[in-house]
Structure 1
Amino acid sequence: MTIYIVDDDAAFRESLVWLLEGAGHIVSAYESGEAFLHACTDNKDSIQGCLLLDVRMNGMSGLTLQQELNQRAITLPVIIVTGHADVAMAVQAMKNKAVDFIEKPFDDDKLLRLIDRILGDLSQQSTIEKQQTQHIERWRSLTKREEQVAQLVIAGRVNREIAEQLGISIKTVEIHRSRVMSKMQARNIAELIKQHVDLQPSI
């Protein structure tokens, strides 16, 4: 993940790059909202991380850039960087879905902790989304009969009840049930139920 900086103050930009790279982050800095938008247009799919955004800049303001990102569905967490006189603008930015704002001058350690928390949340969310995608793909790999058996297993039916309801033999139920557990990569019924819960409302 990358920390993106958009600020028209070159000295401030350089100091932020130095701070963040020193903390082990990958950093990409831009002198204007227009320049950052251009980069987003060219590399939209690879934009991952968070954005440190100045509110008051020459040309496109931070608020305008934020609105453009929202319109383009670029869901990058935004931390607003503001001077004391810009707090009202920062509040407006929060209403536009910024995750937090910091006032200049700010405490370096506080900023680093904030960024670490945001990136940690993003990483966790990314892991959850990948798991959900895997669960959906596994569920869709089931045949119609396997899906029927899986639904009944999840509902708490035993093999005999499933066989009676579907009009098949208990042995056939056992075969389908085994295939369901294998395809869903579930070691037990609890894992199968958890995966099924994660699928809602995708199925």
Structure 2
Amino acid sequence: MAVIGAAVDSETKQVFDAIARSRTLTASRLAATLITDFIQAEQSGTVYTSASTQLPAVKSQQVNAGAKTEQVFVRLEPYYYDELGRLAAGRRWHRSSYLANLLYVHVDNRPVLCHDEINAVRQVARQLADIGRNVNQIAKQLNTSLENAHIAMAYDFELLKMLLDVETVAIKELILANLRGWGVTDVH
């Protein structure tokens, strides 16, 4: 069997160990089951709902800057090790990064974005900044003189509102898709 190690902070390891003990499993066996169930769900295209390994949400704790993380070693059959590699490569991560982020998403119930998703958020942020600059220019023209009020009437504010709504929905959908992609099904 292949072994996967994932670096997590000590609080996450303690929570994970406690959950494993409550299920009379080792941390390694619980992590292997989590990975196996997730990969099977990913391949079948179904939403991840394994009741035996679904971790309860806990509040995200503040991590001290520079705090040492702990390692967890997980044994996987060669097939699942290869599948973990394939899933990690899809996000341009190492296997251990993928595994750690999978655990973070399930424990904290918050998204972990890959490089492509971060770029998508940056693109939307740029578009929103462009819209903000346009609104500032309109406001500046109106503040300089009411003679320029006719310029503001030339802008379609309904279109502007629609563009802002579209960008807001795009961000929300990206975050929800990210969480669903990790197998988190109880998202709001």
The TM-score with structure 2 as length reference comes to: 0.33
Task: From the CA coordinates, give the structure whose radius of gyration is larger.
Answer: 1
